[in-house]
Amino acid sequence: MAKIAILGAGIMATALTYPLTDNGHTVNLVGTHLDEDIITSIQNTGVHTNLDLKVNEGVTAYQLADAAEAFEGADLIMSGVNSFGVEWVAEQFKGLLKPGDKVLSITKGLHAEEDGTLTILPEVIKQRLGSELADQIKWGAITGPSIAGELAVGHDTAVVFTSVDQDYISWVADLFRTDYYHVWTSTDWIGCEVAAAAKNIYAFGAGFAKGILASQGKENDRYVMFNYGAGLFAQGSVELRQFIELLGGNGDTATGLCGVGDMFVTSMGGRNVKAGTFVGQGVKFSEVRDVHMKGVTLEGVAAIGVVGAALKKLTERGVIKPEDFPFCRYLYSVVAEDAPLDLPWATFFGGEK
């Protein structure tokens, strides 16, 4: 049996302890400085306060001050912090990782350089660590449609584990596979990670239709806006593929679990969809951010800000064409410029002929 150490005690990181412990592995769950109350609750009652579930036997909770003890002798190390904490994770890993370690990331997002060049977040962690250490570590990631609570209660979940090293990621996948957690593997490291990050962008737009109906008092009408939603989802899938290819991944990855599969589940609900619903009701995004959802973490909206600004720079450099990514560019105008809801339908799918 393996020993796994996880940095971050959020709901997804904790949900992943269930298949691991169901398989007989032990997990040391280390909270960040923001997880102190969660760790204390698990230590005292066994209950994760946000999941509202008891963790399995085999999970030991540690406060951040005891991270070194928790990581000692781990067969697998996991980064379970969201995209806003990627640089913090890298700083922690400098003191916790050693040559030969195996790392699995659930952190999703894209980082933009000053010139607009986009990079997946695991590569940002590696850069911060420095090549001397990073090159001696095996890297992998979990991608695909996975709602944490559903996984934690044993609902069937299908995901893709990815790494450039097939032997390594096959070994990791075997640690996790159960009769409810179904794991496929891929060596399209870039494609899977880009898809996992970019799908959050389009989840914001998935809320528009519900907001429009609410503004018209038609939430319970027989005829809703599935046609509208389908059009946005389809354009999002087109741009998802383009993003993967732009960063050097395999475009076919967009059609699978970590592409449209993940975009589907993310579009079904959550904080980014809720923010989009407000915009559909006619609320300016700045008001959504500062009033209606003040203090709420919106990873998809943050991705729109990073990627939308990068698209402008990449266009100026001639890396992409002005007509590329019309949906993402429009979402950026909503988020960064308070543009009203007026979708550029004629620019979608290569432009109306």
Residue 342: CB partners within 8 Å, gap ≥ 6? none
Please, are residues 129 and 93 in contact by the beta-carbon 8 Å criterion? yes
Q: What is the DSSP string of 80-130?
A: ---GGGHHHHHHHHHHH--TT-EEEE----EEE-TTS-EEEHHHHHHHHH-
How many CB atoms sit inside 10 A of residue 109's CB?
Answer: 24
CA 341 to chain centre: 25
Q: Which of 300, 297, 301, 308 is nearest to 333 (CA)?
A: 308
Strands annotated E in the chain: 3-7, 26-30, 47-48, 53-54, 59-62, 76-79, 102-105, 110-112, 118-120, 138-143, 157-162, 181-186
Measure the CA–CA gap between 65 and 82, rounded to whole angstroms: 20
Cα 118 to Cα 70: distance, rounded to the nearest angstrom:
33
In the DSSP assignment, the letter for residue 269 is S
Tracing tokens 């600004």 back to the chain, one arrives at 309
Angle, CA of 209, 213 and 214, to the nearest 5°: 115
Q: Is 224 exposed, middle or buried (0-12, 13-18, 19+ CB in 10 A)?
A: middle
Judge whether 199 counts as a catalytic residue.
Answer: yes
Say which of 102, 138, 199, 210 is annotated catalytic. 199
The residues annotated with a catalytic role in the active site are 199
